[in-house]
């Protein structure tokens, strides 16, 4: 399978991303505060400050005012084309590979879809599933939540299917509803990316499906770390991606029974894992945006383009990074 040629450029400085995250966090928080469940989103407030330990045991020079960090050895056996790992509490980038290289990311795209929907608030909005979801899923042989045309589900329930089961039918329904229409929704996704400072990201689908080409929707490890930080500031989002599954009992005359399992193999099997989202296409290979908490330390990371060693290839790479990160011995030098 042909790989995307690496495209690199100057990323928005992480200091600028801090301001962008605060602005977008406030916007999304305003939307989610209107949800009937009464949960208020917390504005995103932290952006990563660039520091890479990918090519040398000693981290690259840090920006003025930051402490230099010595890393005993980089993580081993990480075969992903791109990736990054950071301490979300201290805003220190511990490791990266191809930090600003644009790559396809498959269904990690759905994190942005969820952010755009959450900005609109009202998770109790009722949406009737259109018949078009069947042809949409069939056309692309996409991952499905098994949505039944005619069923009426809430926005919150569709978000469960979107983020856990990685349901492309749920992405289609949410996008066409909240655009309204696909073109308008994609415009909102790309506008949100710009507000977050994700200058090397572009969306042509709400689910990461490979249309019009396998490389039309793309991002970078740096941009996806920014996206992950923004999403995990939202309690509603966090509460969804932290689940192993979601069971929705049937309601006569309203909707069928549904059960959606989390495609993220880390959740429920790796101590402290609390999300975030898997991704896969033939071009993207195995991708995972992830976060875990242990002993008061929160690590957030991403791997893109992990080889096809098995269905859990992304999770395996993430676990190696997390084990390395949590076991890291940091020495602060003058």
Contact 69/332 with Cβ under 8 angstroms? yes
Catalytic residue status for 110: yes
Contact 283/296 with Cβ under 8 angstroms? no
Q: Alpha helices, DSSP H only, in the chain? A: 14-32, 110-120, 132-140, 155-160, 168-178, 182-195, 221-231, 235-241, 313-326
Catalytic residue status for 107: yes
The half-sphere exposure of 119 on its side-chain side, counting CA atoms within 13 A, is 24
Q: Which residues contact 132 (CB under 8 A, 6 or more apart)?
A: 172, 176
Contact 233/199 with Cβ under 8 angstroms? no
Give the whole-angstrom CA distance, residue 56 versus residue 94: 11
Give the whole-angstrom CA distance, residue 283 versus residue 274: 27
Q: Is the Cα torsion angle 57, 286, 115, 243 positive or negative in sign? A: negative
Q: Rounded to 5, what percent of the chain is helix, strand, coil?
A: 35, 20, 45
Catalytic residue chosen out of the listed positions 96, 166, 205, 219: 166
Catalytic residue status for 166: yes
Catalytic residue chosen out of the listed positions 54, 110, 219, 277: 110
Contact 191/53 with Cβ under 8 angstroms? no
Catalytic residue chosen out of the listed positions 107, 120, 144, 219: 107
Q: Which residues contact 106 (CB under 8 A, 6 or more apart)?
A: 208, 278, 279, 280, 281, 284, 287
Q: Which residues are tagged catalytic?
A: 107, 110, 166
């Amino acid at each position: 399978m042909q790989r995307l040629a690496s495209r690199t450029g100057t990323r928005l400085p992480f200091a600028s991303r801090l301001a962008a995250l605060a602005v977008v966090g406030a916007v999304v928080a305003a939307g989610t505060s209107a949800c009937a469940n009464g949960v208020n989103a917390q504005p995103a407030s932290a952006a990563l400050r660039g520091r890479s330990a990918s090519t040398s045991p000693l981290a690259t020079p840090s920006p003025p005012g930051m402490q230099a960090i010595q890393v005993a050895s980089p993580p081993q056996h990480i075969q992903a084309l791109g990736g990054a790992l950071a301490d979300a509490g201290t805003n220190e980038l511990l490791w990266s590979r191809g930090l600003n290289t644009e790559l396809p990311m498959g269904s990690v795209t759905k994190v942005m879809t969820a952010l755009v929907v959450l900005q609109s608030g009202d998770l109790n909005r009722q949406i009737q599933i259109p018949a078009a979801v069947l042809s949409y899923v069939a056309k692309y042989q996409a991952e499905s939540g098994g949505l039944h045309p005619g069923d009426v589900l809430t926005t919150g329930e569709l978000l469960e299917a979107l983020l856990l089961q990685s349901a492309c039918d749920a992405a289609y329904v949410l996008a066409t509803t909240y655009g309204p229409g696909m073109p308008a929704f994609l415009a909102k996704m790309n506008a949100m990316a710009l507000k977050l400072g994700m200058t090397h990201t572009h969306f042509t689908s709400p689910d990461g499906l490979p249309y019009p080409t396998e490389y039309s929707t793309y991002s970078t490890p740096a941009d996806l770390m920014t996206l992950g930080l923004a999403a995990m500031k939202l309690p509603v989002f966090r509460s969804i991606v932290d689940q192993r599954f979601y069971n929705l009992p049937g309601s006569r005359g309203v909707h069928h029974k549904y059960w959606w399992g989390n495609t993220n193999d880390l959740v429920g099997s790796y101590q402290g894992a609390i999300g975030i989202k898997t991704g896969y296409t033939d071009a993207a290979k195995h991708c995972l945006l992830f976060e875990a908490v242990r002993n008061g330390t929160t690590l957030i990371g991403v791997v893109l383009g992990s080889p096809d060693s098995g269905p859990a290839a992304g999770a395996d790479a993430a676990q190696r990074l997390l084990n390395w990160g949590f076991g890291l011995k940091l020495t602060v030098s003058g």
